[in-house]
Structures are given as C-alpha cells and as structure tokens.
Structure 1
Amino acid sequence: MHDNERSPLDSPEPDGHSRREVLRNAGAAGAAGLGLVALGSSVPAQAAEASGAGGSGAAEATTAAAPARQGDTMIGVPFERRSTVRVGIVGLGNRGGSMIDLFLAIPGVQVVAVCDPVKDKTAKAAAKVTAAGQPAPATYVKGDHDFENLCKRGDIDFVYVATPWDWHFEMAKTAMLNGKHVGVECPVSLQLDQLWELVDLSERTRRHCMQLENCCYGRNEMRVLRMAHAGKFGELLHGAGAYNHDLRGLMFDPDYYEGPWRRLWHTRLRGDLYPNHGFGPVANYMDINRGDRVTHISSFGTPALGLAEYREEHMPKGDPSWKETYIESDRTISLVQTAKGRVIRLEHDVSTPHPYSRINQLGGTKGVFEDYPARIYIEPDHTNDAWGDFAKYADWDHWLWKEHANPPGGHGGMDYIMVFRLMQTMRLGLVPDFDVYDAVTWTSPVPLSHLSIKAKGAPQQIPDFTRGGWRKARGGVNSEKPSET
C-alpha cells in the first residue's frame, strides 16, 4: 500500500548534488511556497493571498467552473478486447518489484518492458519475467525520463506506475499521450489543476487512467459492498475510512523509501496526504459518481509534533532530516458531504503511535458495519446492543473472492484480486470497474483538505469531475462474473 520506489529526485544535478539533496536542504523554506496556489485550482496568486487563512475566500478559491470538455465522457467506455494484455511497468522498488509477480501469475498477461533508474532492480525484474517463461522484457534504466521511451513503444497496452508521488501525474500523462491505458498507485496526483488535466487527457485520448485502489478489492470491503447494494443496511446514511498507520520508522529509514521523498511531503502540506484507501471503498458503497457525488469537504488538523519528536529520539544530530520543518497535521479529520446528504468521515495519521486501521465503516437505517476488528449490527439479525459475527456473512462474498479463495500476493490477497480483475476487463473488452473520475475524486481530498485546514475548516467545494455524468446509475466494483467466451 506504499509507493516506496526510488525517486528520480536522487539523480545528480550538474553541481554533483542530487535533486533530493537540493529538496532536503530547502524543505523548510519551500513549505510555504507549495501551499494554497500550487495545490488549489489555477487561482491567481493575488486572490490566494487575499483569501488569507480564515473567512470564505479560501473556499471560494477552489470553486471555479469546470473547464470546457475536450472529448466525450469516459463513463461506460470499454477496453478494446485482446487475447493478451501487454504491460509496461515503471518503478520497481518495494511495490512495483512485488506487483510484477502478480502480473506474471495471471494468464493472458505479458510483461513487455520494465523501467527503473536503479539498474539492479530492473535486472531483477527482468529475471522474474524470463523465469515465468516469458520473453526477456525491454529494460529502461537511462535516467529519470527513460519511462518516456517505454511509453512510446507500440507493443504496450497498459502502463503500471509504482513510483514516488512526485512523478505520478507526469507518468500518467505521458502514457495517455502515447496511446496507453494507465494505472497509477495512490495518489494519482496532489494538485487540483493536475486532477482536471488527467480527466481532460483521458477524455481526449480515449485512454483509461485508473487509480489502482487495492483496498476496494479487500474481502471485507467487497462483502460489505454487496450487502449495501442489496439493501442489508437500509438507506445509507454515513461511512468512514482512514489511513491510520504508524510510518515514523519507515519514513526515517533511508533504505525503505530510498531517501526522504515521502517524509518531505510533511514539510509541504497540512491535509490528508493519502485518502484513497479509506475513501475508495466507502465511495463504492455509496455509488459515488454512479448516482451520488461528493460535493464539499471540511477538514481539521492537529499540530504537527510526531515526526519532530521521533527525530529527537532516534536521529543523530548530523542527520539531514534536522533541516526539515514539518507542517503536516499529525491527524487530519475530514467530513465529506454528498449530493444526497450522506456524510463520509476521513482520517489520516502516519506520524503517531497507534495500531493500523482503515476504519472502514458503513451505516444506514437498518444497521452498521465497522472494521478493525470486523463487526456488524443490522436488523433484524441482531438485538440487545450486541455486535454480530461478520464471518457468518461469508455467503455475501463477491464472486472474485469465491473464485479465488486463497489469492497470492500481499495485503491479504487484495492486490492479486485487483490485478486479476483489471487484466480480465482488458482481455474481455469490458468497462473497467473504476475510471479517471473515481481516481481524481478519491484523490481530491489531498489539496482540498490542505486548503480547508488553512481556512480553519471552511468547506471546500469538490468539483464535479464527471460534469454531470454522476447522476446516472451504473456498474462498478460490484460486478457480475463475466463469460470468458
């Protein structure tokens, strides 16, 4: 669930220092400059400054009308049917280096090319491909932008991006401009104007751009999804999702993230840096972009203390991290409103000690489900204020989990289920389970929560990235098993 690849920021500049070193040295000074204007819509600097930290100005700064559509909607657009899906993988660190195993495990998928500036990682990935009985893939290792050459190939159908966040937008854009469908690890981008650009590019190029949100394919999440759509929770009222995961040790580990790229985002933003894992499943339960849509977000953040305290206790005084000033709230709490009046609570906390939780809650007029640990209370099954055993609802498992009861790979098998289903939709020429509108909606809390916190919780309008297409009910992750013929 982490993009822990080597960042292109490590590559040397003409003066011999890597761009990562330049960023590290400028971390504190750059935090303010990457604030309201850079992360909001294309708002003039004067307007952003005038809005200040309070009042309604900051809220209004993100509510510009949707840009003119450059192509037809991508809602309901199927993939082209193909017997073999040819894949190019960009980023081969912890995430990409393990996900390649899943692509290779699925029949009808060929890994054609791999790319990473670290030659050893690319060589290991190429060896996995040949060990799986496939032809040796092309390798791209010549610096930061060699991914552009991978995307230009004529024998690739799908580009998978598993790199540091800084590069997600540029790589997704390049893939689509070169006629490739693209799937990106979370988040798809961190700026509102870039989210709109991805929508426009997908519509103009007729290529799908997907946020590869693996938690949408978790067993519990898919079971709750089916139950919700069958009315077991009654009329849906509220939900909650989170990324509460103590990452302090990993963020200060120079080997795990191969540098401070993830930690540096804590010097730039105050909002929810990683909303997708919690937001995606709840959005599916509520048919967001499929009959309902999210309209506003209000966010609040605690002081930023956790990373500095951890550094004080664990890092030597000469460590470069001592030049960093952290502004990211230790815990961000956001309330999201939908057009139908429902409420979604999102949380983010990666810098304080606590057990892992995505919360994963759904409530309606007939009951509620809560995860971590999984428990359920719905009428008429449960009474006397006693939680019920969620394991007894296994009959509601999605067909993917019934067909793949013990899937390989990490995160309890959800990664495999996600890749299998995506590759299946591409082979059979089906509509993908989610699209660019879901990708940008699930990521929009990143810039908007930052703006809301700066404006003391003032609501920020969430754009209608579908440009009205959300009003029509349509399918999604709660799919029917397709015929292979």
Structure 2
Amino acid sequence: MPKNSPVSRRSLLGGALAGGTLAAAGIGSASPAEASVATSATPGRRPGQKTMVDVAFDVHGTVRVGVVGLGNRGSGMSQGWAAVPGAVVTAVCDVRADRVKRTADQLVVQGKTRPAEVTGSTDAFTRLVTRDDVDLVYIATPWEFHYAQGKAALLAGKHVMVELPVATRLEELWDLVNTSERTRRHLMLAENCSYGRNELAMLKMAHDGLFGDVTNGHGGYLHDLRSLLFSDTYYTDSWRRLWHTRSTASFYAMHGLAPIAAAMDINRGDRMTTLRATATEPKGLADYRARFVDRSHPSWNETYINGDLVTCLIDTAQGRVIRAEHDVSSPRPYSRINTLAGTRGTFEDYAGATSGGAGRVYLEPDHGGHTWRDFAPYRAEFDHWLWKKIGDDAANNGGHGGMDYVLQWRTVQLMRTGAAPDIDVYDSAAWCAPVPLSVASLAAGGSPVDFPDFTRGTWAKPRTGLDSRASEMPPVA
C-alpha cells in the first residue's frame, strides 16, 4: 500500500467583440518584434489598482449565471450550472436565436425556471453582461471573442469564467489582469481538467512529498480532431479549423499544462520564467483533406500553417522544467499526458495497455525492480475531497468524466461561501500565455522568450489553490 513520504511539498518550496474582426483578437497579426518586446515588459499598476490574490468573493446566497455562446459546449454547460445547488441560469445568449430557444427549452425540461433569451444581434452579449440578475458570466464562444467579452463582463461588474483560452495575445492577457484588478471582479479560466480526479490526486501526492522534490512535468492536449475540424456543423463557421491558417502556435495546451503547474505551485511559490517552442511541419490537416474531403468543400481554399505538434519547454524560477504539447492534426489516441516526476518517483497518466488504461506510478521506497505499479490504490488514498464529496453527482450531471460539474460546483460553492477562487486571473493568464509566447519563440527560431510575471512579485508567497481543504456547500433556502 502507498506510504506517506516524510518530505512535504510545502517545505520544499521554502518560504474582439462578437462578429468583429479576427485581427482585433487574433495572434497572427503581431510581428515578431512586437511579440518580443511585449514578452520582456511588466507594466506597472495604475493608481488605485491592486492585486486580486486571495481576494474573496462577496457572499452570494444564490449564484445567478448568464451563459454566452450556446454551441456544443455552452448548451451542455448550461445544464450543469443549473444542476448545482444554489445556482440558477438566469439568462442565455447567442447570435443564433434557435440555439437560445433550444437551451432555454432544455432547462425547462430539467424543471428549471426559463432563463431570459438574449439574441438578435452580434453584440447581444453586451445586453446579457449588463443585466441586474447575473452574478457570473460564463463565456463559451469561439476563441476570437473571449478577450473582448470577458473584459466587457468585468467592466459591467460581473465575475466571469471564460473557456480556453481567455485571450490569445499577450497585451490582452495583461489587460484582463489589469481590468480584474481595477474592477475588483474575478476572471477565471474554465479549466475543467484541473479538477480531473487523477489530476487532483496527483496534486495531493506532490504536496504530500511522494515525488520528493519535483523536478519536471509533462502535459498537453493530444486529440485527433481532424474529422470534427472538417465537419460543417461541429465548429460553427469552421472557426477552429481557420485558426490553423492564421498562425503557428500552441493554441490549446492548457488542459495538460494547468494541472502540472498546480502541482508545482506556479504562482504559489514558483513561477514560469522562460518559454522556447518548436513546431513540426503542418502536414496533418492537408493530408486528411486530400484523402477524405470532397474538392467542392471550401477548405480547399485554405492553407494550413500551424505545426501538427507544437512543443513548449518552460523553465521555472525553482529550476523545474515543464514540457507542454499541442497536437490536434495527427492520428493518435486522446491524451493530456499528465506526467509528474521528482527525486523519489514518477506518475504517468494515459499509459495505455500497460496499465489497463489507467495511470501508473513508480515511487521509492515502495517500488523497485524497474516495474510500473498501478495508480489506483494511490488515487484511492489521495482522492481529493471534492471527488469524495460529489463524485457521484458529477458522474450524473457533468461531461468529461464529471470534471465539468466539479468545476461548476466548486465555483458556485466559493461564491456562496465568500471564499477566494481556486483559479484566479493570474493563473488564467499564465496558463494561456504559451499561446502568444510560442508565436514569439517560433518567430525567433525557437529562442527562449521571457515569461511574464502576471502576479507582479506575489508568486513567491505560498498560498492555497486547487489543494483546498474540505468545506460544505451552504444549504439552499
């Protein structure tokens, strides 16, 4: 059985508008020189602006959620929000009226009050974020709209949760940080994978010292999306495929990067300092199109420039190395990689047939003989309190194995109890920064670029994040 190590992870630390232009929110328009200059500067705070680190939510008896973007993700998450005790979806918004009606109808079928239906124009979201009956704005639109819509929600006095990435340009990430600090409202990345069961167990094991002094980690997003990228219905207006025609970048590595960063206490005792990127040739989408897509399809007018596999090597202030990968253009099984290693052992997730599809682990002094062991007994011992408490509810109410619901339940609980968020605007900016930083590094031939300190120095202070202590959801009146 697993044994607790005497080494504590903590002791080792020591002390663009909807319908607007893509150029307004894209990353491809920044020249290498602009990107290089932007990576090295830390803008000062304006007078009266101050940190959002450990700033608690005001207590909300009921959390009223407004949802912007009702495609596959937004419509499904609307039902999850409505299922959380003490939360109610009060408004739903999309430029397509049929999606708005469909989502409202689904909530009524669930037995929920029909939300306000906001639609009719490309700037309809501005009417949602200014509503008096919305406390939390959840944004699930295409990437090019995240920054402008997230900022608008903050300026309207709302807390906001944004799907990945919160922004795609460095100046936009800084602007979201500054806007959050000025408005005193939280902006959070909807990083559901940070609440994955294996990821949270790995986090607890790291903080309890089972890996010894953590030295490196490996995460990413390896997902064969080729058939969906060429679908005429899955990604509305082909928005996600079109990003592959605009820039060479690590678009979406956050799902794997964020759990590794949390286990290393990034922004809580360590920080990412430099990033260097590599990219393979862009062959996968063109090859798939040649074999499976009819010549009459509009994609034949497109040229794909994003590398199939974009890899980022990230150094930290404590001397650790993180490898983050992104590949949605190659034939391969799904993986977020999720590997953590240190002086006393290693954990590898997505290990395939060698462990029956579950994670595998090798830890001293428990293991030897160069033989991997099953992760299951360790997960049972180090299972995060959230999964112990609401794991069954998560399985019944949320997608992606339940981690969607865990993210939603925890966010509502934090707002209803008046606690600080597990994932704050600084985490959100740092986890998304490899998008523009990979552009800058690749433009410079793979040279290292500086990683911004969005916390402006607060990163050195250990503090709680996803490694929270057990607490209760307030009863619903």
**TM-score when scaled to structure 2?**
0.90
- Shifted more, 65-74 versus 460-469: the winner is 65-74
Q: What's the CA shift string for 1:92-124, capped at 9, x where partnerless?
A: 111011111111111111111000112121112
What is the rounded CA distance, in whole Å, between the counterparts of 1:347 and 1:268 in structure 2? 19
Q: Which residue of 2 aligns with 1:299?
A: 277
- Offset at residue 204 of structure 1 (A): 0.2
Out of 83, 91, 104, the residue aligned to residue 61 of structure 2 is 83
Q: What corresponds to 1:52 in structure 2?
A: none
Given the alignment, which residue of 299, 302, 311 partners 1:333?
Answer: 311
Offset, 1:36: 6.3
The Cα shift of 1:35 comes to 3.4
SS of equivalent to 2:373: coil
Residue 268 of structure 2 is aligned to residue 275 of structure 1: no
Find 1:66's aligned residue among 43, 49, 54: 43
Task: Using the TM superposition, name which of 61-70 and 449-458 deviates more.
Answer: 61-70
What is the aligned partner in structure 2 of residue 460 from structure 1? 449
Q: Work out which of the residue numbers 368, 371, 377 in structure 2 matches 1:386.
A: 371
Equivalence map 1:381-420=2 (5 Å) = 381-393=366-378, 394-406=380-392, 407=394, 408=396, 409-420=398-409
* SS of structure 2 residue aligned to 1:404: helix
Which 10-residue stretch deviates more, 312-321 or 248-257? Answer: 312-321
In terms of mean alpha carbon deviation, does 329-338 or 122-131 score higher?
122-131
CA contact (8 A) 2:50 2:181 kept: yes
Identity %: 50
Match of 1:103 in 2: 81
Deviation sequence 1:348-369 (CA, Å, 0-9, x none): 1111111111110000110000
Kindly provide the amino acid, as one letter, of the partner of residue 74 in structure 1. M
**Structure 1 segment 440-451 matched on structure 2, within 5 A:** 440-451=429-440
1:20-39 matches, within 5 Å, as: 35=28, 37=30
SS at match of 2:258: helix
Aligned equivalents of 1:84, 1:68: Cα separation in 2:
33
**CA distance, structure 2, for counterparts of residue 194 and residue 187 of structure 1:** 11
Root-mean-square deviation (Å): 1.8
Partner of 1:4: none
Map residues 82-231 of structure 1 onto 2, 5 A cutoff.
82-231=60-209
Shift of 1:132: 3.3
Offset of 1:62 from its aligned partner?
2.3
**What corresponds to 2:7 in structure 1?**
none
Return the alpha-carbon distance in structure 1 between the equivalents of residues 209 and 74 of structure 2. 38
Unaligned runs of 5+ in 2: 1-16, 352-358
Matches within 5 A, 1:242-321: 242-321=220-299
Is the 8 Å Cα contact of residues 244 and 349 (structure 1) preserved in structure 2? yes
Measure the CA separation in 1 of the matches of 2:242 and 2:298. 12
Q: Amino acid of the residue matched to residue 323 of structure 1?
A: N
In structure 2, how many angstroms separate the alpha carbons of the residues matched to 1:433 and 1:72? Answer: 19
Partner of 2:348: 370
SS, match of residue 187 in structure 1: coil
Aligned residues: 444
**2:30 is aligned with what amino acid?**
V
Cα 1:303–1:153 shift into 2, 3 Å: same
Residues 152 and 59 of structure 1: is their aligned pair in 2 closer, same or farther, counting only changes over 3 Å?
closer
Q: 1:353 to 1:484 in 2, by over 3 A?
A: closer
Rounded to whole Å, the distance in 2 between the matches of 1:401 and 1:197 is: 35
2:315 is paired with a residue whose SS is strand
Structure 1 runs of 4+ with >4 Å offset? 58-61
Stretches of structure 1 that go unaligned for 5 or more consecutive residues are: 1-6, 12-18, 24-29, 41-46, 49-57
| Rounded Cα–Cα distance in structure 1 between residues aligned with 2:409 and 2:130 | 25
Q: CA offset at residue 136 of structure 1?
A: 2.0
Q: Is the 8 A contact 1:115 1:146 kept in 2?
A: yes
